[in-house]
Amino acid sequence: MRLSSLTEPEFHQRVNGAGIAVQTGPFIFRVRSSIPSVAKGLHLLYADYPLMPSNGFVDFDLRMERGRGLHRMVHPQVRFVCDGGSPFKPLPISHAYPLLEWGMNWCISTQAHQYLMLHAAVVERDGHAAILPAPPGSGKSTLCAALIHRGWRLLSDEMTLISTVDTTIVPLCRPVSLKNESLDIIRDFAPSAVFSDIVPDTTKGSVGLMKVDKHHLDRVKSTARPGWVIFPKYAPAATARLAPRSRADSMLELGRNAFNYGLLGALGFHTLADVVDQSDCYDFEYSELGDAVQIFETLAASRSS
């Protein structure tokens, strides 16, 4: 059963009551909130995800609560609560839905240590994954969004989950977070893309979430092998260009982009070394998405041949 099996009134009633339990990749989140924008965002973006029993096992029990005291009436706020604790300062209530998505990222990155977790987008073609680690502002999520509208499969736009048992990459497949100019760029590049309401004036600027097409979700249990580690960088007016990068330097940079590399110790080192050993490593500079996609097509064709 998927979330879309609920009518909109049923959906809102459940979010306000027992909660909506949704599975995304290997994790189950139960979300409860009386804030309309939270229910609206979930109903739109997670319609095609598996709906789990509200009273069953969940990995993370989440509440999006209205601020307390005077903030309930003056400058209303929202609090993110996970398993009874509130790890973040309250935000304006208009930021409720982005805060939920950021909070879900926090839950995974701080607790899912059965995986080596990298701060990187990751997409797949023909069983091989392209890991795209990069700092904010580098065009990582924009590139990821473009690729998944041109035949690549989304594993994650934000977090690469690597099995410490066999180095396969586990799909997370949550909505793609885009900011500021990237929103219009992807709307032009992929007119069929579906977005949540755009929320302005967040700490990241204007933020919107892009819905994941159902065909990606249908393969959410299919893992991928490492194929490429590509460090993207958007540069205005730049010609799209790949430059080989050494595996040693790539491993060092991936370690810096990992959430739990140090925590995993030797296991993290050997897992990351195996990933890099299986991957072709590059720096990638681009400005036009069409050119960027063509270079990725060439990479995929080369790997297949």
Q: What is the CA radius of gyration of the chain?
A: 19
Distance CA 4, CA 45 (A): 10
pLDDT reading at 49 higher than 90: yes
Assign 3-class secondary structure to 145-214.
Answer: HHHHCCCCEEEECCCEEEECCCCCEECCCCCEEEECHHHHHHHHHCCCCCECCCEEEECCEEEEEECCCH
DSSP state of 239: P
> Do 142 and 52 sit in the same domain of this protein?
no
Do 142 and 222 lie in one domain? The reply is yes
> Residues with Cβ < 8 Å from 216, sequence gap 6 or more?
148, 153, 154, 173
pLDDT at 72 over 90: no
Query: Euclidean distance between the first and final Cα of the chain, in Å?
Result: 39
Is the pLDDT score of 187 beyond 90? yes
If asked whether residues 105 and 150 sit together in one domain, one would say no
Could you say which of 83, 111, 139 is where a domain stops? 111
pLDDT at residue 136, as a whole number: 78
| Shared domain check, 273 and 134 | yes
Instruction: Looking at the structure, tell me whether residues 95 and 60 fall in a common domain.
Output: yes
Looking at the structure, tell me whether residues 234 and 291 fall in a common domain.
yes
Which residue segment(s) compose the domain that 29 sits in?
A: 3-111
The count of structural domains within the chain is 2
Q: Edge-to-edge, what's the strand order for the sheet holding 115-118?
A: 115-118, 160-163, 169-170
Residue with tokens 């935000």: 91
- Same domain for 94 and 240, yes or no, is no
Of 76, 250, 231, 228, residue with least CA distance to 152: 228
Domain boundary among 111, 135, 165: 111
Burial 114-137 (b: 16+ CB within 10 A, else e): ebbbbbbbbbbbeebbbbbbbeee
Q: Supply the pLDDT for residue 133.
A: 96
Residues 282, 158 share a domain: yes
Name the domain boundary from 90, 111, 132: 111
Q: Do 23 and 145 share a structural domain?
A: no
Q: Say if residue 296 is in the same domain as residue 163.
A: yes
Percentage of residues of the chain with pLDDT beyond 90: 90
CA atoms 106, 108, 110, 115: torsion sign: negative
Residues 271, 162 contacting (CB under 8 angstroms): yes
Q: Give the whole-angstrom CA distance, residue 64 versus residue 31.
A: 8
pLDDT at 27: 98
If asked whether residues 139 and 257 sit together in one domain, one would say yes
- Asked if 233 and 283 touch (Cβ cutoff 8 Å), the reply is yes
Same domain, 290 and 141: yes
Task: Note the pLDDT of residue 69.
Answer: 66
Mean pLDDT of the chain: 95
Specify the pLDDT at position 138. 85
Q: Note the pTM of the prediction, 2 decimals.
A: 0.95
In this prediction, residues 179-198 reach a mean pLDDT of 96
The 10s digit of each residue's pLDDT in 105-151 is: 999 999 999 999 999 999 999 999 999 998 877 889 999 999 999 99
The arithmetic mean of pLDDT across residues 200-209, rounded, is 94
